[in-house]
């Protein structure tokens, strides 16, 4: 991964953190599809990075598991509510500790992987893959919470709401107003 790509990833992460702390409407495709695309791109990048040996597979797996667990925690602490009849999400400031944990986890995996000869796992190449997994894990918690609360996703640009038929016609106020 080049410096330009690293700068791009850092910018994306900063933008995502800002949006989460500020609060935003949640569109289903952005919540689910975008992280899936990032994960696939990251996965393909791993296989284009060179030969993966056993140590790479081990540390990529361990790194991925940690990223998923932190994503699940991010999904759990994210506040969900209804604003103008659609889903809004806001990460409380204490959620920044989870972002710090995600970054720290990745650095720890890079250091350990480097010491065990896992050159691909020790590089910046897995960043997109693990970030995508983290976002998918967060979505795996947020989407069911929204569906159980009966709060539909914000409409997409075409005016349709992602998975609109999956939401109960429950009282939106059960999840709290935002």
Tens of pLDDT, residues 50-103: 788 999 999 999 999 999 999 999 999 999 999 988 999 999 999 999 999 999
pLDDT for residue 171 is more than 80: no
The answer to whether residue 36 is domain-embedded is yes
pLDDT at 135: 95
The answer to whether residue 157 is domain-embedded is no
The answer to whether residue 14 is domain-embedded is no
CB 161 within 8 Å of CB 152: yes
pLDDT for residue 177 is more than 70: no
pLDDT at 170: 45
Higher pLDDT, residue 157 or 151: 151
Backbone angles phi, psi at 177, to 5 degrees: -85, 150
Q: How does pLDDT run across 135-145, given as a tens digit for each residue?
A: 999 999 999 99
Chain centre distance of CA 141: 11
pTM of the complete model: 0.85
CA dihedral 47, 53, 59, 60 (to 10 degrees): 10
Question: Could you tell me the end-to-end alpha-carbon distance of the chain, in angstroms, rounded to an integer?
Answer: 40
The answer to whether residue 67 is domain-embedded is yes
pLDDT band, residue 161 (cuts 50/70/90) = low
The answer to whether residue 107 is domain-embedded is yes
pLDDT for residue 166 is more than 60: no
The answer to whether residue 177 is domain-embedded is no
CB 134 within 8 Å of CB 12: no
Structural domain count, the chain? 1
The answer to whether residue 1 is domain-embedded is no
Mean pLDDT within 22-30: 91
The answer to whether residue 138 is domain-embedded is yes
SS3 of the chain:
CCHHHHHHHHHHHHHHHHHHHHCEECEHHHHHHHHHHHHHHHHHHHHCCCCCCHHHHHHHHHHHHHHHHHHHHHHHHCEEEEECCEEEEECCHHHHHHHHHHHHHHHHHHHHHHHCCCCCCCCCCCHHHHHHHHHHHHHHHHHHHHHHHCCCCECCCCCCCCCHHHCCCCCHHHHCEC
pLDDT at 66: 98
pLDDT for residue 149 is more than 60: yes
d(CA 70, CA 74): 6
pLDDT band, residue 162 (cuts 50/70/90) = low
| Domain boundaries, position 89 | 22-151
Over pLDDT 70: what percentage of the chain?
88
């Amino acid at each position: 991964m080049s410096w330009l790509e690293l700068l791009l990833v850092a910018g994306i992460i900063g933008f995502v953190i800002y949006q989460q702390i500020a609060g935003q409407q949640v569109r289903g495709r952005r919540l689910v599809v975008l992280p899936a695309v990032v994960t696939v791109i990251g996965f393909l990048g791993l296989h284009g990075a060179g030969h993966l040996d056993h140590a790479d597979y081990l540390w990529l797996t361990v790194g991925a598991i940690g990223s998923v667990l932190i994503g699940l925690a991010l999904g759990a602490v994210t506040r969900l509510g209804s604003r103008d009849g659609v889903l809004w999400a806001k990460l409380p400031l204490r959620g920044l500790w989870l972002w710090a944990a995600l970054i720290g986890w990745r650095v720890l995996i890079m250091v350990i992987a480097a010491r065990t000869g896992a050159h691909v796992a020790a590089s910046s190449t897995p960043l997109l893959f693990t970030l995508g997994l983290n976002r998918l894990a967060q979505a795996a918690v947020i989407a069911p919470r929204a569906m159980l609360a009966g709060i539909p996703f914000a409409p997409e640009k075409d005016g349709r709401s992602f998975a609109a038929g999956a939401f109960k016609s429950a009282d939106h106020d059960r999840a709290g107003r935002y």
